[in-house]
Amino acid sequence: MNCRECAEFILRYLEGDLPADEQASFERHLGRCPPCERYLEQYKLTVRAGKTACSDADPLALAEVPEELIRAILSSRKSE
């Protein structure tokens, strides 16, 4: 397994959906590739942060966002 393949397998690995032989290959690669090991840890942190940010959403805080700000954000996205 190379680094590109490793990146393609990360989600399935974290969800426990890799067959045993692919999981072993993935873990062997991680064991000898510090950049991929760091990538996996960063991926986990990103997923955790996203879940945390979305799980504690305060509906009242969302109501306090100024309409002008919302329009500005949406307007800037249209120009991309």
* Complete DSSP assignment for 29-45: HHHH-HHHHHHHHHHHH
Domain count, the chain: 1
**Predicted confidence (pLDDT) per residue in 29-47, tens digit:** 999 999 999 999 999 999 8
Range of the domain at 66: 3-78
CATH for 25: 1.10.10
Whether 14 has a pLDDT exceeding 80, the answer reads: yes
8 A C-beta contact, residue 68 and residue 36 = no
Average pLDDT of the chain? 85
Question: How large is the average pLDDT for residues 56-78?
Answer: 76
CA distance 26 to 24: 5
Closest by CA to 14, choosing from 32, 33, 30, 35, is 30
List C-alpha distances in Å: 62 to 8, 21, 52, 54, 59. 35, 46, 16, 12, 5
Whether 75 has a pLDDT exceeding 90, the answer reads: no
CA distance 58 to 51: 14
